[in-house]
Structure 1
Amino acid sequence: MRRWAIGRVLAALASMSGAAVAVASGCGATDGYDCRDLLECDVMNEDGTSNGGCEGTCVVARLPGFLPGVFLVRENAGLEDLECDDAVLMKPHWTEEQRKNAIPPSYSKFFVAPGAHPGCDPCACTAPACVFPAGLTVSSGWMCDDGPGATLTPFDAPAGWDGACVAPGAVGAEAFGSFRIAPVTARPCEVVASPVPRAGDAPAGGRGVIACDANREAMCPNRGHLCVVGAADMLPGWRRCLLSEEDEDVECPPGEETLGLHFSEQLTFWGEVEDSRACSPCSCTETAPSTCEALVSTFEDAACGDLVAAAVVAENGVCHDAEPGSTLGSVRAEWRVNAPGSCAPSGRELVGELSLRKKTTACCLPEGT
C-alpha cells in the first residue's frame, strides 16, 4: 500500500467524518478510529520533512554509469568471511520473519587488488670449507684387507672434528694390521635459508569485498527515488556505496545529484584477481674449487704421545700398514693445505605477474554516515 504524506492523511480523515482530528506521532484519529487501520504512517525526519514510508534513506534511483540503488559494502579484515546478515542491525523485538526480511540479499563479491610486491630478499651462500676425515677403519690384515677372516674395527672421529687429539677407543695388536683413513672432504657452499616474501601483500586474489543490496521495498515521496538502509541500521565497518557498471570508468557524483548525500570516497574493486608474483629460488654456483690436504697421525697411547704412523690424506683417502705388534689408542690431524674455494649466489628475482579484470568503481559515503 502506498503511504501518504501527513497533510493528505489529515485531509482525508477530515473529509470522511468532519470531526476534529488529533495528531500524534504522524497519525490522526477520529471517532475512535485509528488511521493505522487505513494506511501506514509517514516517517518524519528531524527537520519536519516526510520520508514517505521509508524508514531508511531516500536516494536517487539511478545515476548514469552506476547500477541502480545503493549497496552495503565491506572489505574483509584478516580471514573473516562476511555475509550480508552481518550488515544490518537486528532489533531485539523483531520476529524471526522480520529478521529474515531485514537481511539484504548479496549482490556480489569483489577483491581489493594486492599492493606492490615487497621485493625479494637477496640470496646468500655459506662459505665452502675443508673438512677433516671422519676417522679410520682398522683391519687385522695387511694393506687394509677386508676379505673373509679379517677383523674390521671402526675408529671414528667425533662430528665436526677439528683435528685435535681424540681417543675414540683402543685396538689391540691382534686386530691392528693396517688402517684406512677416510678422505678429506671439501664442504660445498649452500644456500642460506631466508624467509620467502609472500606474493603481494595479501593471500592470492587480494582481500575480499562483499556488496549487499541495500534497497528496501518501502516507498519514498518521489517516485524517482528509492528507499535504502539508513545509517542507524548498519553495523560498524559497513559503508553505503554506489557501484559502477562493470569496467565503467566513472566520476563520483556531486552532492546536488544525490539529494545532498556525498558519495565522495572512491574505491576500486575487481571481479577477478590473479597474483602469480613470486621470488625465484636461490642457488649457489662454485666459482673456484677447494684444495684440501691433511696429515693424519696415529698413536699407541690415548694422549697422542707414542707415534705409530702418519700419512698425508686428500680427497681419495689412504691405506697405511702398522708396525707389527703396534696398538692404536688415539689419532690427531692437522692441515697441510687448507684452501677453500668460492661460490656466487643467484636467484631471488621477481617472476610472474598481477592480473586484474572486471573493474568496479565504488563511490562511498564517508564511514559512519
Structure 2
Amino acid sequence: MRWWEAGRVLAALASAGGAAVAAASGCGAVDGYDCDEYLACEVINADGSSNGGCEGTCVPTEIYGFRSGVYLVGRKAGLDDPGCADALLRTEGLDLEERKEMSPPPHGDFFVAPGAHPGCAPCACTAPACAFPAGLTVSSGWMCDDSPGVTLTPFDAPAGWDGSCVAPGAVGAEAFGSFRIAPVTARACEVVPSPVPRDGDAHAGGQAVVTCDASGGDKCPAPGHACVFGAAELRPGWRRCLLAEDKDVECPSSDRTAGLHFSEKLTFWKEVDDSRACTPCACTETAPSTCEALVSTFEDGACRDLVAAVVVAGNGGCHDAEPGSALGSLSAAWLVDAPGSCAPSGGELVGELSLSGQVTACCLPEGT
C-alpha cells in the first residue's frame, strides 16, 4: 500500500499559501492548486520506504553491463499487433490512436529464436498405369485420308475409359471409309502433393517480442533512479526488464538494483536468417510400362455387330472399314497391361538457421 504523507503535504501547503488553506486541503485534493506543481507529494511503500513522487517503481538507470533505462517487454503475436499500445491497463477500451497517445514509446522489436525444423514430409509417387486409347478419328476416305474434301468425324471415348462398350455417336456408311485409333498410353507416375507444407518458420510462427520505454521521469528521491510503471499498471504478459547485448551477461543481484529481483532471464535476437527448406519431390522411372490393347468397332450401338478388331500399342493404328459399313460403338480389352515402376526422390532438408545480435533480458517476474 501507498499513502500520502499528510504532514509533508501540510507543510508544503503552508509555505505555498497559508495555514488556512493547508488545514482544509490534502495532496491530490487541493482546490485551485496543482499537486505536481505546488506540492512535494511523497509515495510511501508498505515497508516504510519512500518513492518520492513516483507512484510506480524506482529503479537505478545505470547498471553496469546493461542498457541505460528500464524497458517493458511483451510478446508480439503478429505483424499488425499494436505492441506498446497494449502494454497498460489504463488504455483498455480506447481506440488504437488513443491507446498510442497514452502508452510508453516503442523501443524496438526482436525475434524469438525458432525451434527445431519440423522435418520434411516423405516424398511419394502415384503408380504408373496403362490407359486405353482416347477414341477414333473416322475418315470418309481410305487409309485414314485427311486430304481436303475428305470428311473427318471424331468418335471419342469418355475420359478415363475402362474399355467397356460405349456409343459416342453414329457414323453412316457415306462417311465411314477408315478409322485411325489413338495409341494406348502409359500414364507416368506423378508426385503426390504433401497436404501440409513443412518448411521451417524463421520467426517461430510470426512471434516476436516488442520493447517499450518504461521510464516515467525522475520523481524518485535517490539520484540516478528512474520512475517506471508499476506492476499493477501492466496488462498480463508484460514485464519490466533490463536489456543487455552480451550473451554471457548474468542478471544483476538485488543489491545493485535497489532490492529488486530482475531474476527472469530471456533471450531474443535482432536478426534471424532461416534458409532451411525441403528439396522438391520428384519421380524417376525405374522400369518402363508395356501396354497393348485390342480395340473393336461395331456397326450397332451395343457392341454386337463387329466391323473390325485392331491391336493397338504405343503407335496407334489405321484400319479400313468394310465397304457399306457404319459405325455405332466400340470397346477395348487389354492384351498386355504391365505398368512399370518409379522411385520418389527429394524431401531432403537443406539450408541452415543463422541467429545474430543476441539480446538478453533480465526481468522482474510478471506481477511483481
TM-score bucket of the superposed structures, by smaller chain? 0.7 to 0.9
| Aligned equivalent of 2:228 | 228
User: 1:57·1:227 contact (CA, 8 Å) conserved in 2?
Assistant: yes
Question: What SS does structure 1 have at the residue aligned with 2:43?
Answer: coil
| Superposition map of 1:108-123 within 5 A | 108-123=108-123
Distance in 1 between residues matched to 2:175 and 2:100, nearest whole Å: 90
Say whether residues 1:185 and 2:185 are aligned partners: yes
Counterpart AA for 2:70: V
Q: Which secondary structure does the structure 2 equivalent of 1:85 belong to?
A: helix
Please, which runs of 5 or more residues in structure 2 have no aligned partner? Answer: 93-97
Aligned residue identity for 1:284? C
Q: Which residue of 1 aligns with 2:40?
A: 40
Indicate how the Cα distance of structure 1 residues 350 and 181 shifts in structure 2: closer, same or farther if over 3 A, else same.
same
CA distance in 1, matches of 2:351, 2:13: 73
| AA aligned opposite 1:285 | T
Distance in structure 2 (CA, Å) of the matches to 1:12 and 1:150: 116
Map Cα deviations across residues 98-149 of structure 1 (whole Å, 9 max, x no partner). Answer: 9888532222221112211111100110000000000111111111111122
Aligned residues of 2:119 and 2:198 also touching (Cα < 8 A): no
Partner of 2:104: 104
Which residue of structure 2 lines up, in the alignment, with residue 214 of structure 1? 214
Is the CA contact 1:6–1:42 (under 8 Å) kept in the aligned structure 2? no
The answer (yes or no) to whether the contact 1:139–1:151 under 8 Å persists in 2 is yes
Change (3 A) 1:325 1:41: same
Correspondences of 1:59-78 after superposition (within 5 Å):
59-78=59-78
- Greater mean alpha carbon deviation, residues 5-14 or residues 98-107: 5-14
CA distance in 2, matches of 1:347, 1:328: 49
Which residue is 1:149 aligned to?
A: 149
Q: Against the structure 1 CA distance between its residues 215 and 337, is the aligned structure 2 distance closer, same or farther, given a 3 Å change threshold?
A: same
Q: Is the 8 A contact 2:290 2:339 kept in 1?
A: yes
CA distance in 2 between partners of 1:16 and 1:156 (Å)? 105
Please give the alpha-carbon distance, in whole angstroms, between the structure 2 residues aligned to 1:23 and 1:252. 49
Contact 1:26 1:42 in 2 (8 A): no
Return the offset for 1:199: 3.6
CA distance in 1 between counterparts of 2:309 and 2:324 reads 17
Name 1:162's counterpart in structure 2: 162
Stretch deviating more after TM superposition (330-339 or 212-221): 212-221
TM-score norm. by structure 1 comes to 0.86
CA contact under 8 A between 1:254 and 1:262: conserved in structure 2?
Answer: yes
CA displacement at 1:355 relative to structure 2:
1.6
CA distance change for structure 1 residues 15 and 212 in 2, over 3 Å: closer, same or farther?
closer
Q: CA deviation at 1:88?
A: 2.7
Structure 1 position 56, deviation (Å): 0.8
Amino acid at match of 2:216: R
**Is the CA contact (8 Å cut-off) linking 1:243 and 1:360 kept in structure 2?**
yes
Counting only pairs closer than 5 Å after superposition, residues 1-369 of structure 1 correspond to structure 2 as: 38-90=38-90, 103-201=103-201, 206-244=206-244, 246-369=245-368
Change (3 A) 1:100 1:79: closer
Structure 1 pair 153–38 and aligned structure 2 pair: CA distance change class (3 A):
closer
Q: For the residues of structure 2 that align with 1:18 and 1:310, how far apart are their CA atoms?
A: 123
CA distance in 2, matches of 1:354, 1:308: 69
Instruction: Give the conservation status (yes or no) of the 8 Å contact 1:126–1:192.
Output: yes
TM-score normalised by structure 2 residue count:
0.86
Q: Distance in 2 between matches of 1:291 and 1:99?
A: 72
For the aligned residue pairs, the C-alpha RMSD in angstroms reads 3.3
Q: Which residue of 1 aligns with 2:95?
A: none
Which amino acid letter does the alignment assign opposite residue 214 of structure 1? A
Moved more, 58-67 or 11-20: 11-20
